[in-house]
């Protein structure tokens, strides 16, 4: 039996930055696509009226390329507002009254994780959690212990099927394309294993710095910010076995098994870096040891991937902004042609941003009499200009009860288990120059090879 569709949408933190940057544009897009025909209730501490909320929504949509059209007029007519403190029971009593006849509300918690327990408890005690779904924004904890504690708290009030842990990165079209490419093409499966793959590189590079978020970044660092969630999720998509079945839960089962096979990180196989000038940023400690760059070697204890190292790196203020997966294949068992001994091995490359490219790297003979070749890249490029925005996709999925693109509790806890050993046990950060590819300590990190730098 299919899950009941949500019949009301409540978003806590309606006056915050996340609502302004992502939620209002997503709601506007859902209305335009005919997917949002229900009450939309904003909840926040700000002393606003409903008219203030509508004005905020209009400013958000116009700031992100939209305009006040028929879809906005409809969204505005659906908007309601509740001003209240998340720690006070009357806030949730009022919410239950405003929900009226709604039986399956979707509650979106665009609020700091420290307030999750207060809000979920308030929803449960007021009856507003009955038949509901709850969407939580990352981070889901700060380490393994806090993630387990948060999981225990949530399950006091909600079943796992009602919890939607959102990571907008998984809603992006290029990431979806990675999953599709893996399992929609039969030519890939025979070589997608330790017999043919030498190693895998995952790079998420950003040419910009922390953009004035010094105080926040001091609490995160690169490992917590993107490795524990975004980059391990990419690794799981690459490493997972074919799902058994066609329902969304089958894919989450396969990803869960991939996470379970990832070995906890060894501090000796992690290089942490910090860009020159980070400590002078507002909100940053003058002696900060927080990493703005990390390179690591991940091991996978599975039959398919045993012995194949997975290299992951990410950093701020690097040479370019790009996210790529580079899968290096093993060389032919016998070099029939002399130049093959010296040549770069074949590869499969997935470029996820800023553009989308699927590339097979091969060798072909150069024209002429000599039996010498050259590298050739067979590229398929995709235009993602008209792709559905990640938050719009994910909110639509949550309203339908589709959890495929949302983190499950075992995946979240496993990801923290993997990074937990290096959150506190590590060498001091190595300083690197802005605009470079990170600290020199990571230059020769890859055994028998080198980093593939996106351009």
Encode pLDDT of 193-230 as tens digits: 999 999 999 999 999 999 888 888 999 999 999 999 99
pLDDT tens for residues 114-132?
Answer: 889 999 999 999 999 999 9
Residue 381: C-alpha distances to residues 197, 329, 355, 360, 432 (Å)? 23, 21, 8, 12, 33
Q: Which of 120, 137, 154 is the last residue of a domain?
A: 137
User: So what's the pLDDT on residue 1?
Assistant: 36
Looking at the structure, tell me whether residues 175 and 267 fall in a common domain: yes
Are 272 and 293 contacting, i.e. CB atoms less than 8 angstroms apart?
yes
Residue 262: inside a domain: yes
Enter the pTM of the model.
Answer: 0.90
- 3 state SS of 323: strand
Looking at the structure, tell me whether residues 296 and 366 fall in a common domain: yes
User: So what's the pLDDT on residue 315?
Assistant: 97
Residue 405: C-alpha distances to residues 28, 165, 243, 355, 389 (Å)? 21, 9, 14, 21, 14
Residue 402: inside a domain: no
Residue 425: C-alpha distances to residues 271, 420, 433 (Å)? 12, 9, 24
Residues of the chain scoring pLDDT < 70: 1-2, 335-343, 369, 382-386
* CATH number of the domain residue 81 falls in: 3.40.50.720
Integer Cα distance of 393 and 372 in angstroms: 49
**C-alpha torsion sign, points 289, 298, 408, 326:** positive
User: So what's the pLDDT on residue 354?
Assistant: 86
Specify the number of domains making up the chain.
2
User: So what's the pLDDT on residue 339?
Assistant: 63
Residue with tokens 């116009």: 62
Integer Cα distance of 248 and 107 in angstroms: 21
Residue 379: inside a domain: yes
φ/ψ of 438, rounded to 5, equals 105, -175
For strand 347-353 and strand 293-298, is the pairing parallel, antiparallel, or unpaired? Answer: unpaired
Looking at the structure, tell me whether residues 221 and 128 fall in a common domain: no
Residue 171 class from Cβ within 10 Å (0-12 exposed, 13-18 middle, 19+ buried)?
Answer: buried
Residue 331: inside a domain: yes
Looking at the structure, tell me whether residues 208 and 60 fall in a common domain: no
Looking at the structure, tell me whether residues 52 and 109 fall in a common domain: yes
Looking at the structure, tell me whether residues 120 and 187 fall in a common domain: no
Integer Cα distance of 216 and 276 in angstroms: 18
Residue 156: inside a domain: no
Residue 275 class from Cβ within 10 Å (0-12 exposed, 13-18 middle, 19+ buried)?
Answer: buried
Looking at the structure, tell me whether residues 104 and 178 fall in a common domain: no
**C-alpha torsion sign, points 166, 171, 172, 177:** positive
Residue 438 falls in which region: left (phi positive, over 0), alpha (psi -120 to 50) or beta = left
Q: Dihedral of the CA atoms 336, 339, 344, 346 (nearest 10)?
A: -40
Looking at the structure, tell me whether residues 274 and 196 fall in a common domain: yes
Residue 162: inside a domain: no
Looking at the structure, tell me whether residues 119 and 50 fall in a common domain: yes
> What does DSSP assign to residue 262?
B
**Residue 136: which H helix or E strand, with range?**
strand 133-137
User: So what's the pLDDT on residue 237?
Assistant: 93
pLDDT tens for residues 284-308?
Answer: 999 999 999 999 999 999 999 999 9
Looking at the structure, tell me whether residues 112 and 230 fall in a common domain: no
Q: Which of 93, 112, 137 is the last residue of a domain?
A: 137
Residue 423 class from Cβ within 10 Å (0-12 exposed, 13-18 middle, 19+ buried)?
Answer: middle
Looking at the structure, tell me whether residues 189 and 124 fall in a common domain: no
For 425, the domain range is 170-387+408-442
Q: Which of 119, 137, 155 is the last residue of a domain?
A: 137
Alpha helices in 318-377 (DSSP H): 338-342
* CATH number of the domain residue 319 falls in: 3.30.360.10
Q: Dihedral of the CA atoms 313, 318, 324, 325 (nearest 10)?
A: -30
Residue 174: inside a domain: yes
Looking at the structure, tell me whether residues 88 and 205 fall in a common domain: no
User: So what's the pLDDT on residue 359?
Assistant: 86
Are 298 and 321 contacting, i.e. CB atoms less than 8 angstroms apart?
no
Residue 144: inside a domain: no
Catalytic residues: 230
């Amino acid at each position: 039996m299919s899950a009941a569709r949500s019949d009301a949408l409540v978003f806590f933190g309606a006056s915050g930055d996340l609502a302004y940057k992502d939620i209002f544009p997503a709601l506007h897009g859902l209305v335009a696509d005919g997917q949002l025909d229900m009450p939309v209730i904003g909840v926040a501490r700000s002393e606003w009226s409903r008219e203030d909320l509508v004005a905020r929504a209009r400013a958000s949509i116009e700031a992100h390329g939209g305009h006040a059209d028929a879809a906005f007029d409809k969204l505005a007519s659906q908007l309601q507002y509740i001003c209240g403190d998340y720690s006070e029971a009357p806030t949730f009593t009022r919410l239950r009254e405003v929900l009226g006849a709604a039986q399956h509300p979707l509650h979106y918690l665009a609020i700091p994780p420290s307030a999750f327990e207060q809000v979920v408890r308030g929803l449960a005690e007021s009856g507003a959690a009955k038949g509901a779904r709850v969407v939580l924004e990352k981070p889901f904890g700060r380490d393994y212990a806090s993630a387990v504690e948060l999981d225990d708290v949530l399950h006091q009030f909600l079943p796992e099927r009602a919890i939607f842990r959102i990571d907008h990165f998984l809603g992006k079209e290029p990431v979806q394309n990675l999953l599709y490419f893996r399992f929609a093409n039969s030519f890939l499966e025979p070589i997608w294993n330790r017999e043919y793959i030498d190693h895998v590189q995952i790079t998420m590079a950003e040419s910009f710095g922390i953009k004035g978020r010094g105080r926040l970044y001091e609490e995160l660092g690169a490992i917590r910010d993107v490795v524990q969630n975004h980059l391990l999720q990419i690794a799981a998509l690459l490493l997972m076995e074919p799902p058994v079945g066609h329902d969304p839960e089958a894919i989450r089962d396969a990803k869960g098994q991939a996470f379970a096979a990832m070995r906890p990180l060894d501090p000796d196989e992690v290089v942490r870096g910090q860009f020159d000038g980070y400590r002078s940023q507002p909100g940053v400690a003058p002696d900060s040891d927080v990493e703005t760059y990390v390179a690591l070697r991940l091991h996978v204890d599975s039959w398919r991937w045993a012995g194949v190292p997975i290299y992951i790196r990410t950093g701020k203020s690097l040479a370019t902004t790009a996210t790529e997966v580079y899968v290096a294949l093993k060389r032919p068992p016998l070099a029939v042609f002399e130049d093959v001994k010296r040549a770069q091995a074949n590869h499969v490359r997935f470029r996820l941003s800023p553009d989308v490219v699927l590339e097979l790297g091969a060798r072909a003979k150069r024209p002429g009499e000599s039996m010498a070749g050259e590298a050739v890249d067979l590229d398929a490029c995709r235009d993602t200009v008209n792709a559905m925005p990640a938050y719009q996709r994910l909110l639509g999925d949550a309203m339908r009860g589709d959890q495929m693109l949302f983190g499950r509790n075992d995946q979240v806890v496993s990801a923290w288990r993997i990074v937990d050993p290096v959150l506190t046990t590590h060498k001091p950060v190595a300083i690197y120059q802005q605009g470079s590819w990170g600290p020199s300590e990571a230059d020769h990190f890859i055994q028998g090879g080198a980093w593939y730098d996106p351009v």
